[in-house]
Amino acid sequence: MLKKVLIANRGEIAIRVMRACRELSIKTVSVYSEADRNALHAKYADEGFCLGSSHPLESYLNIKKIIAIAREAQVDGIHPGYGFLSENPNFAYSCEREGIKFIGPSSRAIELMGNKIVARKTMSEAGIPVTPGSGRIEKIEEARQVAAKVGYPIIVKAAAGGGGIGMKIVHDSGELESAIIAIRSIAYSAFGDDGLFLEKYLVRPRHIEFQVLADKFGNIIHLGERECSIQRRHQKLVEEAPSPIMTEKLREEIGKIAIQVARTIDYTNAGTVEFIYADGSFYFLEMNTRIQVEHPTTEMVTNVDLVKEQLRIASDLPLKIKQEDIKINGWAVECRINAEDPLNNFVPCPGKLSGYRSPGGVGIRVDSGVHTFYTIPSFYDSMISKLIAWGRNRSEAIERMKRALYEYVIVGVKTNIPFHKAVMSNEVFQKGELSTHFIEEQDGLYQEMERIIEENDSLTGKIESVFGNKRKMAAAVAAVTTCRLNAEG
């Protein structure tokens, strides 16, 4: 088993990994930027090292600094979490070169799946269904020919894209050239690679992904699916496991494909194979070569600790879990709680949490890295926490989530909690009739959010005054103390 692990990340995922390490008696090392000097993840670890400047390029994306700290701390493993360097093949290669276990797949597997054009070609050659589209597009005329062949609408995608960045839907030939120019510019700026390709755009698809685990001995299993169709700007907001449309037969069919994807690229550790599902057909979309934000939903319904499994696999231990051991028990729903304004196109709203109290009770899990008076920096993602509710069935999970959202008290910043409340009460959502266009199609969501915000139907409004009174009291005590000191002086 690994003895000491550096977590090359921040926030809730850093805490999540540290918790798993602590349960396995593995020592932990945190890294943090100046903006995160007082963050929980910086304090939770056994050791902590400051990376310097708050800018991601000089801190959480600085491979040389992180490797230097890993050498200084004498760790034998690095867990990248998600985001930042988690899918950077150069980072994985740097760990391999230093003799440090990268807690994830090989640099080769990351590179293969990181370029979407290469991934599509690899999967197509392996007989895995991919959406109709193209290889790398160099010229506008070439793009016109592909688009005419597969039919509009199409989607222009950056080859090195991810996280919803570098994608644009094109509805007719008149929009194609400007879309390609725009995506080339975004792709080069964001990823240093202006390569792009085209895919047939499915009008009302569902986004379904399968969790896989693979060890170095050739054992590969899947742990069922997650439904991730509720998105804004191609970024997920609500996830659930299992999917409302899944049958045992379909799960077995897609699960076998997910395992085949992993086997095709000699994959090890935890990974997620993503599919687009529409009109009874499914297509390979991409493979995320890391732990996913939404992994707790799978953990809740399978009772498998995915991060512990990552650590065991990285320690060269064989999987003890077999495919027949995986049973789906109940239902789990996850809401990403972000500091953002859902009524203003989900614009981020960083700032200080002047009051914070997370929900609890039966079936509720909160993965968070914040606390009262914590300041959400403007440099990074605006996620506050992940709120997960488990129930014996989907209806119970939704009702528990509604109750947990009522209990969640966050004072000082705007959050997307009103959005999640509106979704949980939405009849279409409750029926499980989902697609990646759910938000755009449900016009009533915005009216419901406005009503929720106006009525403030949660504990936040009732407790906010308490936090306010505490602040006034603290200020009064400080003022009195100052007066006494002045008088004594």
> Could you count the other beta carbons within 10 Å of the beta carbon of residue 394?
17
Q: Is the pLDDT of residue 258 over 50?
A: yes
For the ranges 45-54, 365-374, 419-428, 477-486, the lowest mean pLDDT is seen at 477-486
- Position 468 scores a pLDDT of 61
Q: Say if residues 235 and 272 touch (Cβ distance below 8 Å).
A: no
- Position 163 scores a pLDDT of 66
Q: Average pLDDT, whole number, for the chain?
A: 93
- Position 489 scores a pLDDT of 42
Q: Is the pLDDT of residue 229 over 60?
A: yes
- Position 275 scores a pLDDT of 97
Q: Is the pLDDT of residue 479 over 50?
A: no
With CA atoms as reference, report the closest residue to 300 among 376, 425, 394.
394
| Domains of the chain, CATH where assigned | 4-103 (3.40.50.20), 132-200 (3.30.1490.20), 206-458 (3.30.470.20)
Query: Who has greater pLDDT, 197 or 471?
Result: 197
Q: Is the pLDDT of residue 121 over 80?
A: yes
Q: Is the pLDDT of residue 488 over 70?
A: no
With CA atoms as reference, report the closest residue to 333 among 228, 445, 204.
228
The band of 466, judged by pLDDT with boundaries at 50, 70 and 90, is low
Which residues lie closer than 8 Å to 448 by C-beta, 6 or more apart? 421, 422, 425, 426
The band of 462, judged by pLDDT with boundaries at 50, 70 and 90, is confident
- Position 477 scores a pLDDT of 41
Q: Is the pLDDT of residue 487 over 60?
A: no
Return the C-alpha torsion angle 471, 473, 478, 484, nearest 10: 170
- Position 472 scores a pLDDT of 52
**Averaged pLDDT, 252-257:** 98
**Averaged pLDDT, 190-211:** 92
Q: Is 290 a catalytic residue?
A: yes
> Which tokens is 105 given?
């797949």
**Averaged pLDDT, 460-472:** 64
> Could you read off the pLDDT of 82-119 as tens digits, one per residue?
999 999 999 999 999 999 999 999 999 999 999 989 99
From the list 290, 312, 336, 400, the catalytic residue is 290
Q: Is the pLDDT of residue 483 over 50?
A: no
Q: Is the pLDDT of residue 445 over 90?
A: yes
Q: Are strands 196-200 and 165-170 parallel, antiparallel or unpaired?
A: unpaired
- Position 321 scores a pLDDT of 97
> Could you read off the pLDDT of 176-194 as tens digits, one per residue?
999 999 999 999 888 888 9
CA-based torsion, 355, 360, 364, 367: positive or negative: positive
What percentage of the chain exceeds 70 in pLDDT? 94
**Averaged pLDDT, 302-327:** 98
Which run of H or of E encompasses 336? strand 331-338
Give this prediction's pTM.
0.91
**Averaged pLDDT, 209-219:** 98
